[in-house]
A and B are shown apart, each in its own frame.
Chain A
Amino acid sequence: MVYKLVFENLKHRPLRTLLSTLVIGVGVTMILTLVGISEGTLNEQRKRAKGIGADVFIMGSTSSVIGTGTASMNEGLLKFLEEQPHIKLATGTVVHSLGTFKTVTGADFEKFNRMNGGLKFLSGGPFSEDGDILIDEFYSRQEKKKVGDKLTLLNRDWRVAGIYQSGNAARVLLPIKVVQDLTSTNGKLTMIYTKLDDTANTDAVIASLKSQLKDYKIFSMEELISQYTTAAVPELGVFTKVVIGLSVFFGALMVFLAMYTAVLERTREIGILKSLGATPAFVLGILLRETLIMSVLGAIFGIALSYVTRWVMIQLIPATFTQEIVYDWWPIAGLVTMVGALLGVIYPAWKAATQDTLESLSYD
Chain B
Amino acid sequence: MTNGLIIETRGLRKVYRQGDVDVAALRGVDVQVKSGEFLAIVGPSGSGKSTLFHILGGLTPATDGEVLMDGKELGKMSESERTTLRRTTVSFVFQKYNLLPTLSVRDNIEIARYIAHKTGPVDPSFTKVLQMLGIDHRMDHKPRALSGGEQQRVAIARAIVNQPAILLADEPTGNLDSENSANVLGILRDLNHSIGQTILMITHNPEAAAFADRVIEMKDGRVVSH
Q: Which residues of A contact B (CB under 8 A)?
A: 1-2, 4-5, 8-9, 11-12, 268-269, 271-279, 282, 354, 356-359, 361
Contacts and interface: CB of A to CB of B under 8 A. Distances in A.
Interface in B102-123: 102-103, 107, 110-112, 114-116
Contact of B92 (A12, A275, A278): A275
Interface size range on B against A: 20 to 34
- 5 tightest Cβ-Cβ pairs between the two chains A and B: A277-B87, A358-B60, A277-B86, A8-B102, A1-B114
Interface of B: 54, 57-60, 79-80, 83-88, 91-92, 94, 96, 98-103, 107, 110-112, 114-116, 158
- The prevalent SS among residues of A at the interface is helix
Contacts, number: 75
A269 B100 CA distance: 6
18 contacts: A1-B107, A1-B111, A2-B114, A4-B103, A5-B102, A5-B103, A5-B111, A8-B102, A12-B101, A271-B98, A272-B98, A273-B100, A275-B86, A276-B111, A276-B158, A277-B115, A277-B116, A278-B83
A190 B85 CA distance: 82
Given A1-B111, A273-B115, A361 B83 contact: no
Q: Which of B91, B94, B100 is the most central at the interface, judged by chain A CB atoms within 10 Å of its CB? A: B100
Nearest to A357: B59
A160 B36 CA distance: 99
Contacts of A12: 101-102
Contact of A278 (B101, B102, B115): B115
Given A276-B91, A356-B59, 10 more contacts: A1-B107, A1-B110, A1-B114, A271-B98, A272-B98, A272-B99, A275-B92, A276-B115, A276-B158, A361-B94
Contacts of B58: 357
A358 B115 contact: no
Nearest to B91: A276
B60 A279 contact: no
B102 A275 contact: no
A279 B114 contact: no
Contacts of A275: 57, 59, 86, 92, 94, 98
